[in-house]
Amino acid sequence: MPFVQQVAVGRRECLSVFGNDYPTPDGTGVRDYIHVDELAEGHICALEKLFTMDGGCIIHNLGSGTGYSVLEMVKAFEEACGKKIAYKIVDRRPGDLGTVIANAAKAKADFGWQTKRGLKEMCESAWKWQSNNPYGYEDGPGKELCALALCKRK
C-alpha cells in the first residue's frame, strides 16, 4: 500500500507487482489488507486484555479474513485518488505465497475485535493522508541540504 500511495503522489515512477502467475483470480498475490486504524485498535484491545492477565503472553491474528489481489488494491486506489497508478509486472520474490489471509476468530472471541472497513475505505483514507503528506512525516526533498546550510551559517 505505501508504494501505491507513493506512485500516486509522484514519489515513485511505478509500482512493481511481484508475479502474475499465482493461482489467484488475476494471477497477482492476494493479501489480507486492513485499515491502519483497525490495526491500531486491535493492538489496543490486545493491550487491554494483557492488563487483565496475571502474566504470560497472548497471540492473535489481526485481519479481515478477506483477501484482495494486488491489482484489485491498485484499482481501488485509482478510484480513491482519481489517478492511474503505473505498474509493471516483475518476477516473483523467492518465498512469496500466492494467498495470505488471516484468521482473526481468536481476536474476535477474546476481545471482540474485528474489522469494519473495506478496501474502498482503506484506499480513501490512505489517499487523504498521503495527498496531504506526500513525503510522509518528512519535510520533503532537500531537508538535509537545508540542515547542512543552517549548520554552515553558525
Q: What is the mean pLDDT of each run of 10 residues along the chain (154 residues)?
A: 94 96 96 95 93 90 95 97 97 95 95 94 95 80 49 42
**Neighbour-count burial of 145, counting CB atoms closer than 10 A to its CB (0-12 exposed, 13-18 middle, 19+ buried):** exposed
Model pTM? 0.83
Give the Å distances, CA to CA, from 36 to 2, 75, 93, 113: 11, 19, 25, 14
Instruction: Supply the pLDDT for residue 136.
Output: 80
